[in-house]
Structure 1
Amino acid sequence: MARPNIEHQQRVSALQGPPPEGSPILRVSPETRTDFLPPRNVNDFLAIALGNDIVAGVYPPGSLLPAESSLLQRFKVSRPTLREAFRVLAAKGLIVSRRKVGTRVRAKADWNMLDPDILAWHLQAAPSEAFVADLFQFRQMVEPQAAALAARSRDPATIERIAAAYADMERYKRGGGDLIGADLRFHQAILEATGNHFIGALGGLINTALIATFRLGWQGAAVIEDDRLLQHGAVMEAIRRQDPETARVRMAELLSDSIEDVRLTLRRHERPSDSRRQRCPS
């Protein structure tokens, strides 16, 4: 039976540790909390527990999960409950069950990385720089073009939502409010402003990706650097002026700089002696 990776657990603890002494308090509203997927029933709890273990590498791709009898004893659940959890994980591409063989973890290439649960489990697993790079690459494929489409919007209400979110970011830039929520609303409002139903359908996924990058970059941080805030303002102004190309370029620049902020954050957790204040990613 696979054992938890102690080094992995230590890295998770470091990422979830308290902010540096003297940092401003960061308030996060319930709507923008970064702990995902509260279990609603025993099936959910079991799927989340096993999903976390699989993504964290406790049960690596190609390995067999423990026998059903072992899992039933460990989790104190019924066989139908266990099989329902297996059904959920199989639908996400994580496992495959074969009679007389057992339940095997599938190759990562088979995992449904667009599934918000799997994204959340990657966060619980203290993701690598490669995972973060993939996440930002996905955002870079969508958000700059979304900003360009938003700049063509003729709906004052959608532009006002972008401006209102930016105003909240300015209000909370030194702490004291839900800065993460304001930043999320800013990016989500741009997606909505495109008026594109397919981009709108991606909203939940992109929102999960946004929360993912915020969770990674906000460890120990409670303020946003002035240059990042100005970059948000430049995106907003380009959209307000109905300048699609500038909006696209400014959003691409913002995302490019933000991934560097998150990479620095991950490296600082590998070098705990570096206690400089961290930036807020976007």
Structure 2
Amino acid sequence: MSAPERNEVAESAPIARRRVNDSLAAVLGYEIIAGLYPPGSRLPTEARLLVRFGVSRPTLREAFRALEAKGLIVSRQKVGTMVRPKSDWHMLDSDFLAWHMLAAPTEDFVNDVFQLRRIFEPAAAALAAEFRDAASLEIIEAAYADMERFKTGDGDLIGADVRFHKAILAATGNGLLVGLGSLIEMALVGTFRMGWRSLAIKDDRLHQHRDVMQAIAAQKPDAARAAMAKLLGESAADVRRALIEDSAVGAPQSALAAGDP
């Protein structure tokens, strides 16, 4: 093997190890959030997990450290690795939100997401109406145009919807609101995917997005606030209907739970 080839292998090894660590943490994190290991329960011993996943002890412990950093587990000598109370979980962590959506989101989780959104998104729409400039409005309008174009399933409607809401946050000029939007992006993707299933609601929901956009364009904060509040209320109802449909047919098993990472 030549020196460049050896260097390439040496450089790729840490990347491969990180991928194994990340995927192992994802499987265990998913299983905790899905309730296979509820708060207060003990994870299987290291020996059993090593056999199950076929990884080294350092790899397993690196995955444990990732889960500890997210508040999901705590390891104690002579006790083992315990699942921490839900109050300790880092609910806004992007990985956590992604695992939560994979674990067939519960009605409680959906309610939490929409309650959070109701707290800040109507106010953000009002701020965007007050402070938006031409450039930020153009980004909102472009995202809405993509939503209209993709409503028949010929493009990424979910991605366009995410861009629309994040563009409104950016139009406020408030960096903390922008950061909050990025934090909950995975929850937005998951709930949007559920909410947009029905063809019957697409035109109504698109019109409500347009109402928000037009109020921001007209720089009418009160109208923007009201339009966003209405949109969130209807969207929450869409997602709850999707949850009921899933419970009736049985939610599909996640790919994470179907096999080793």
Q: How many residues align?
A: 234
Q: Report the Cα offset of residue 175 of structure 1.
A: 2.6
Matching residue of 2:223: 246
Name 1:31's counterpart in structure 2.
Answer: none
Alignment partners' CA distance in 2, 1:244 and 1:222: 30
- Largest Rg, 1 or 2: 2
Change in 2 beyond 3 A, CA 1:271/1:74:
closer
The question of whether the paired residues in 1 share the 8 Å contact of 2:92 and 2:184 is answered with no
Structure 2 partner of 1:17: none
Q: Which residue of 2 aligns with 1:82?
A: 60
Q: Is the aligned partner of 1:95 residue 2:73?
A: yes
Counterpart selection for 2:204 from 223, 227, 241: 227
Q: Secondary structure at the match of 2:158?
A: helix
Runs ≥4 residues deviating over 6 A: none
Measured against aligned partners, the alpha-carbon deviations of 1:33-63 in whole angstroms (never above 9, x if no partner) come to xxxxxx9511111111110111111111111
Tell me by how many angstroms 1:271 deviates.
Answer: 3.0
| Residue 129 (structure 1) aligned with residue 107 (structure 2) | yes
Structure 1 residues 40 and 100: CA distance shift in structure 2, 3 A: closer
Aligned partners of 1:233, 1:262: CA distance in 2, in Å? 20
C-alpha contact 2:129 2:219 (8 A) present in aligned 1: yes
Q: Structure 2: how far apart are the matches of 1:206 and 1:270?
A: 24
Match of 2:142, SS state, is helix
Distance 1:233-1:80 versus aligned 2 partners, 3 A rule: same
Match of 1:168 in 2: 146
Aligned counterpart, 1:147: 125
Report deviation, 1:223.
7.5
Name the residue aligned to 1:259.
236
Instruction: Work out the percentage of aligned pairs sharing the same amino acid.
Output: 62
Name the CA distance, whole Å, in 2 between partners of 1:125 and 1:208: 13
- The alignment's TM-score, normalised by the length of structure 1, stands at 0.79
Q: Kindly indicate which of the two structures has a greater share of residues assigned to helix.
A: 2
User: Which position in structure 1 is the counterpart of 2:160?
Assistant: 182
Q: After TM superposition, give the deviation of residue 164 of structure 1 in Å.
A: 1.0
Q: Distance in 1 between matches of 2:57 and 2:89?
A: 25
Q: 1:270: Cα distance to partner?
A: 2.6
Q: Give the distance between the partners of 1:84 and 1:261, measured in 2 at CA.
A: 39
Name stretches of at least 5 consecutive residues in structure 2 with no aligned partner: 1-16, 250-261
Aligned Cα root-mean-square deviation (Å) = 1.8
Deviation at 1:245, TM superposition (A): 1.0
Q: Could you say which residue in structure 2 is the equivalent of 1:10?
A: none
How far is the alpha carbon of 1:173 from its aligned partner? 2.3
Conservation of the 8 A alpha-carbon contact between 1:174 and 1:223: no
Q: Does 1:237 align with 2:214?
A: yes
- Displacement after TM superposition at 1:132 (Å): 0.5
- Matched with 1:192 is 170
Alpha-carbon deviation of 1:154? Answer: 4.3
> Are 2:132 and 2:171, in contact at CA under 8 Å, matched by a contact in 1?
no
Q: 1:179 & 1:194 partners in 2: Cα distance?
A: 23
Q: Say if 2:126 and 2:221, in contact at 8 Å, map to a contact too.
A: yes
